[in-house]
Amino acid sequence: MESFLYDSAWLIPVLPLLGSAVVGLGLISFNQSTNRLRQINAAVIMTLLGVTVFMAFGLLWSQIQGHPAYNRSFEWAAAGDFHLTMGYIIDPLTAVMLVIVTTVALLVMLYTDGYMAHDAGYVRFYAYLSIFSASMLGLVISPNLVQIYIFWELVGMCSYLLIGFWYDRQAAADACQKAFVTNRVGDFGLLLGILGLYWATGSFEFEVIGDRLELLVSSGALAGGMAALFAILVFLGPVAKSAQFPLHVWLPDAMEGPTPISALIHAATMVAAGVFLVARMYPVFEQIPAAMTLIAWTGAATAFLGASIAITQNDIKKGLAYSTISQLGYMIMAMGAGAYTAGLFHLMTHAYFKAMLFLCSGSVIHGMEAVVGHNPILAQDMRLMGGLRKYMPVTATTFLIGNLAICGIPPFAGFWSKDEILGLSFAANPALWLVGWLTAGITAFYMFRMYFLTFEGEFRGEDKTIRAQLLAAAGEVGGDDGHDDHHDHKPHESPWTMALPLAILAIPSTLIGFVGVPWNNRFEALVHAPGEVVEMAAEAFDRTEFLIMGGSSVGIGLIGLTLASLMYWQKVIDPSAIAAKLPALYQFSLNKWYFDDIYDRVFVKGTRRLARQMLEIDYRVVDGAVNLTGLVTVVTGQGLKYFENGRAQFYALIVFAAVLGFVVVSSIG
């Protein structure tokens, strides 16, 4: 039974691929009848994914029982003595990732049925979801760098298609292109890094590269600087995919996609692929201290950057997006600080609670749309929300659970993982810890700001003046003067297909932290850095240290929480007064540190200008020369015909002149 499970593990990405292929072919050949079947398509796709969920759990169970890592491959491309294999590897890391991806994907699919119920692209959306699941599952079972790169690009393509799902929205059109191109910048580095490492070590396998690189550097055959350069180039891939500074700019814009996508791709799975890749490449990074330091500080900078921007966001999804950036920063920081297990542990807890938070925001938007209509500018703005707890109790409760988890309040999941990261980064470098610790406080503040603005106080959705202001700020004229098709005056709770996934996700968001408690870290026993010997956790556990570290992070979290409640719930402190007092800082955060403006000016406009100049050159110089040759031929031809006048004396004159010319020239020479 067990060996059968391992032998057929290739089915895990293939089944969802099959589902999307069937539905996709149906869409392109029998569009109308396929669309009419609607939920039958969804049922097929979800059934196929359901099978993979069972397989993933089976594999995880077998890995927990201590089954050795399983590797299977076949020759994919060959030329001369070059052989490239593809295949799959099942080890604890893969098994954990498989469970995360399949469960979140299945719940998101269930949720989608409610969220996209009235959308014309319902079936297409399921097809995309399924092909994304296939690519993501293919990514986590990849045994070598080339295969990772292949699926890495494929998940990027799915992200592109899904961000641009509502392609008639201009913002979505811009966002999907931005996401793809920014990710290609990262992939550029990743590709070069892969090539460099292959050139140096002759292998694409993670551990082989690690071993040979160590040998080469220690023997002096390869300069340490080169090794570091390759490692950093590879790291550019995760920087883009996991939205790390300075390539984070695509993720907030990616929120233009439908909310289930934001939950699945842009919070739980794809963006975590960067962390996963760093984990896979750990044998390489580990021996290059310069790369590790860079990774750690990139993560720390990103964590702080994301949190500092999230404070001032008014769009509920943008706020969550910046919080995702910040949390991914924590994971990357952990990896760089050598806290391999802690980073992956946070990846797991974050996947569940952030997916839930995003799905909650989708539920809120769904409820708001009943009041303000299908306009993202109105439906997603927290200034129009407030008091939603009364109308949407399930959503409010689950959002609160997610909030407590992300803020690191015990015993919720986020506490254990974040505490482990902070503790280990303190050991690596206290400065890293300080950044992480401060960020934890800001996190609590902005997350509860969101919670209070959305769910507490009075409902502001009917306020015409705020609506008009928002529309004016977005540059839309007219507003909602009666052409909306809604009649409700109060938002409503979402249907059960949306509420159920929220309730299910609340369970791991609350409890999953207990698999990694510091005095009995079962997670670490399962997933640990290759070659690392796990010390018996119970012996290493230091109660005082745990209480100090945990206490300080809970403390700053509570401070942030209190501050948020004073400002946005009790209204004791007026936030706008603070903003008015610190206009520079407020604008800096509100404008996302001006990254978009700078990039637009330097890269976007710069490339456009360069391209136009190239085209000018092509048209005027290169093609101009060709046309000039033509012109010269015509002109000289026209001119020469006057020499051909049939008079012998004239020819004799020319011959004479030519001879004279030769004589003069040769005598001078």
Partner 1 sequence: MNFDPFPWLTAIILFPIVAGLFIPLIPDKDGKTVRWFALVVGLIDFAAIIYAFYTGYDLNEPGLQLVESYTWIPDLDLKWSLAADGLSMPLIILTGFITTLAIMAAWPVTFKPKLFYFLMLAMYGGQIAVFAVQDMLLFFLVWELELVPVYLILSIWGGKKRLYAATKFILYTAGGSLFILVAALTMAFYGDTVTFDMAAIANKDFGLGLQLLLYAGFLIAYGVKLPIFPLHTWLPDAHGEATAPAHMLLAGILLKMGGYALIRMNAGMLPDAHVKFAPVLVILGIVNIIYAALTSFAQRNLKRKIAYSSISHMGFVLIGMASFTNLGLSGAILQMISHGLIGASLFFMVGATYDRTHTLMLDEMGGVGKQMKKVFAMWTACSLASLALPGMSGFVAELMVFVGFATSDAYSATFRVIVVLLAAVGVILTPIYLLSMLREIFYGEENPELVKSQALVDAEPREVFIIGSLLVPIIAIGLYPKAATQIYEATEAQLTTMLRGHVPALVAVAEPATVTIEPLVAEPAIAPAIDVAPEPTAITVEADVVDESLLVKPSEPLEPSDPDNPQIEF
Binding mask 27-56 for partner 1 (x = CB under 8 A): xxx-x-------------------------
DSSP H stretches of helix in 483-542: 496-511, 522-526, 537-540
Helical segments of 254-312, H only? 259-263, 273-280, 282-285, 289-310
Least distance (Å) between residue 195 CB and partner 1: 4
Answer yes or no whether residue 77 interacts with partner 1 by CB under 8 A: yes
Which residues fall within 8 angstroms of residue 211, CB to CB, at 6 or more apart?
283
Applying CB under 8 A, the span of 70-78, 481-489, 516-524, 564-572 interacting with partner 1 comes to 70-78
Under the criterion CB under 8 A, does residue 637 sit at the interface with partner 1?
A: no
Taking CA 504 as the corner, what is the angle to CA 550 and CA 37, rounded to the nearest 5 degrees?
145
Q: Which residue's entry shows tokens 């209204």? A: 571
Binding pattern to partner 1, positions 78-117, x when CB under 8 A?
xxxxx-----------------------------------
CA distance 432 to 424: 10
As measured in angstroms, the least distance from the Cβ of 164 to partner 1 is 7
Interacting stretch for partner 1, rule CB under 8 A, among 26-34, 44-52, 381-389, 427-435?
26-34
Asked if residue 628 binds partner 1 (CB under 8 A), the reply is: no
State the minimum distance, in angstroms, from the CB of residue 72 to partner 1: 16
CB of 31 to partner 1, least distance (A): 7
Distance CA 85, CA 83 (A): 6
> Shortest approach of partner 1 to residue 613 CB, angstroms?
8
**ω into residue 393 within 30 of 0, thus cis?**
no
Does 623 bind partner 1 (CB under 8 A)? Our answer is yes
Decide: is 75 part of the binding site for partner 1 (CB under 8 A): yes
Does 240 sit near partner 1 (CB under 8 A)?
Answer: no
The 575-614 contact track toward partner 1, x by CB under 8 A, reads --------------------------------xx-xxx-x
Residue 227 or 527 having the CB closest to partner 1: 227
Instruction: Assess 407 for contact with partner 1 (CB under 8 A).
Output: no
Closest distance of CB 252 from partner 1, Å: 19
Distance (Å, whole) CA 181 – CA 234: 17
Q: Is residue 442 near partner 1 by the rule CB under 8 A?
A: no
CA of residue 243 relative to chain centroid, distance = 6
Could you give the maximum distance between any two Cα atoms of the chain, in Å? 117
Mapping DSSP onto H, E and C, the string for 346-363 reads HHHHHHHHHHHHHHHHHH
Q: Which stretches of 407-429 are DSSP H helices?
A: 413-428
Contacting residue, 615, 628, 654, 658, with partner 1 by CB under 8 A: 615
Nearest in space to 229 (alpha carbons), one of 246, 244, 217, 212: 217
181-204 b/e with 16+ CB inside 10 Å = b?
Answer: ebbebbbebbbbbbebbbebbebb
Q: How many CA atoms lie within 13 A of 240 on its CB side?
A: 24
- Nearer CB in complex with partner 1: 1/28: 28
Which residue ranges make up the site for partner 1 (CB under 8 A)? 27-29, 31, 75-82, 146, 149-151, 153-154, 157, 160-161, 164, 167-170, 172-174, 176-177, 180-181, 184-185, 187-188, 191-192, 195-196, 198-202, 212, 216, 220-222, 226, 607-608, 610-612, 614-615, 618, 622-623, 625-626, 630
